[in-house]
Amino acid sequence: MSEATSVTTTGLTRSDRIALAASGTLFVIALICQLAHAPALARFAVTALALAALASAVGRATDHLGARTSPGVTGIVQSALGNLPELFFAIFALRAGLTAVVSAALVGSILANVLAVLGLAFVVGGRRHGPQRFDNVGPRQLATLFALATAALAVPSLSANLHIPVANHEGALSLVTSLVLLVLFAFSIPASAQGATGEVEVHSGGVWNMRLVVGVLLVASVCSAFVADWFVMALTPAIHVLHMSEAFAGFVVVAIASNAVENVVGVRLAAQNKPDYAVSVIVQSPLQIIYVLFPVLVLWSAATGHGAFTLVLSPILLIALVLAAFVVTQVVDDGESTWFEGVCLLGLYAIVATAFWWG
């Protein structure tokens, strides 16, 4: 079935209304708990439920968007909205001088997507439907862009750690690299939007009109940004109780919390046997972190003077990022995913995350 296939436009079903009402209700409860300074553990529980509900709302809207667009377009839009929590968190953290935490959180978000979320999607999709084949042109193109972006991000880090002359100009090198990455991302949008194709599934109850789809995506994603921030704030008592390092909190906890929308949506799409859409949504997110979030934060930091944020990563962060780029390229190259590949990706993520437990 081609993308040109007509679909029936309809309003909200009873299930849609219940899901959206639950999302709105939990968001209001989370807001009240935040304003009333409720106990941290209570805020943690409520914000966790609110994040899950908002992720479900975004997932429903993404399904209906996918009935009208290609997997590439769906992935771009979903990832752009899903990365709002990282952007808000990073700006607030840089204003507080937590530069190292921001770097760890951004790299942690990348690895959480390409290792943990992609692995979980492969496991869920593989166990439910067997080996899943996806259009190998689109995912392979995304993997290539990811590898190239990682290489570009590695240059400032290697320059600083090798102590060559340019190491004294890491700020200027980061600015130039950031501008190049933003230009490359702009050029990649048409190719990413057209590179993945797939069958359009017509929903039995019809498809939401575009105004409703865009409205739900925008409202739910913005609300997710605020709830993710509250969720991270409520995690402080847990960090002390579990004797968790700040590096682990940034690399794992903050990364997973701020990626809750993509986590749920990507796995949900794989469970519905839509591997093209699942890979596009999951891999587009780390691409936008490298091509957009990193450069935007570098430019914002230089313009405002907050955080002195650059593209120089610590050796362990750089090595983890390079390993992830290599593994993802190999996994998607054959155009097929299995549940065992997913288990391997999850295992690798567990090992890397454990390395940050002690700081």
pLDDT band at residue 262, thresholds of 50, 70 and 90?
A: low
Q: Which residue has the higher pLDDT, 166 or 84?
A: 166
pLDDT band at 351 (very low <50, low <70, confident <90, very high): very high
Q: Are 200 and 8 in contact (CB under 8 A)?
A: no
Q: What is the pLDDT of residue 136?
A: 60
Residue 5 is predicted with a pLDDT of 44
pTM of the model: 0.77
- Write down the pLDDT at residue 260: 66
Higher pLDDT, 85 or 245: 245
CA dihedral 151, 155, 160, 162 (to 10 degrees): 80
| Rounded Cα gap, residues 268 and 194, in angstroms | 23
- Other beta carbons within 10 Å of 26: 21
> Is the model's pLDDT at 107 over the cut of 80?
yes
**How high is the pLDDT of residue 4?**
41
Rounded Cα–Cα distance for residues 98 and 334 (Å): 40
Q: Residue 201: its pLDDT value, please?
A: 47
The phi and psi torsions of 97 (rounded to 5 degrees) equal 85, 15
DSSP, res 338: -
Q: Is the pLDDT of residue 202 over 90?
A: no
Say if CB 68 and CB 207 are below 8 A apart.
Answer: yes
* DSSP H or E segment with residue 337: strand 336-337
Q: Which residue has the higher pLDDT, 86 or 106?
A: 106
Give SS3 for 305.
Answer: coil
Higher-pLDDT residue of 240 and 49 is 49
Domain 71-198+234-354 has CATH 1.20.1420.30: yes
Hey, is 10 helix, strand or coil? Answer: strand
As given in the structure block, the two tokens for residue 1 are 């079935």
- What's the pLDDT at 74? 62
Helix intervals (H) in the chain = 14-35, 40-66, 71-82, 84-95, 99-111, 118-129, 137-162, 170-195, 210-234, 236-241, 246-248, 255-258, 260-271, 275-288, 294-304, 315-332, 339-354
Coil/strand/helix, residue 138:
helix
Integer Cα distance of 200 and 184 in angstroms: 29
Share of the chain above pLDDT 70, in %: 82
What confidence tens digit (pLDDT) does each residue in 204-227 have?
456 777 888 888 888 887 888 788
Read off the pLDDT of residues 16-42 as tens digits, 9 standing for 90 and up: 788 889 889 999 999 999 899 888 778
Tens digits of per-residue pLDDT, 70-89? Answer: 656 666 666 666 666 677 77
Q: Say what the alpha-carbon torsion angle 134, 146, 82, 194 is, to the nearest 10 degrees.
A: -50
Q: Is the dihedral of CA 245, 246, 251, 257 positive or negative?
A: positive
CB 216 within 8 A of CB 60: yes
Q: 10 forms bridges with which residues in the sheet?
A: 208
Q: Nearest to residue 334, comparing CAs of 122, 41, 82, 19?
A: 122
Long-range contacts of 212-215 (CB under 8 A, 24+ apart): 212/11, 212/12, 212/61, 212/64, 213/61, 213/64, 213/65, 213/68
Q: Check pLDDT > 90 for residue 334.
A: no
pLDDT at 6: 46
Position 15 pLDDT exceeds 70: yes
* Averaged confidence pLDDT in the chain: 80
pLDDT band at 123 (very low <50, low <70, confident <90, very high): very high
Residue 313 is classified by DSSP as: -
When pLDDT is cut at 50, 70 and 90, the band that residue 120 belongs to is very high
**Do 228 and 52 meet the contact criterion of CB atoms below 8 Å apart?**
no
Q: What residue segments make up the domains of the chain, in order of their start?
A: 71-198+234-354
> For 272-299, how does the pLDDT look when each residue is reduced to its tens digit (9 = 90+)?
888 887 887 788 778 888 988 999 999 9
Q: What is the mean pLDDT of residues 341-359?
A: 89
> Bigger pLDDT: 198 or 23?
23
pLDDT band, residue 68 (cuts 50/70/90): low
The Cα 275–Cα 153 span in angstroms is 28
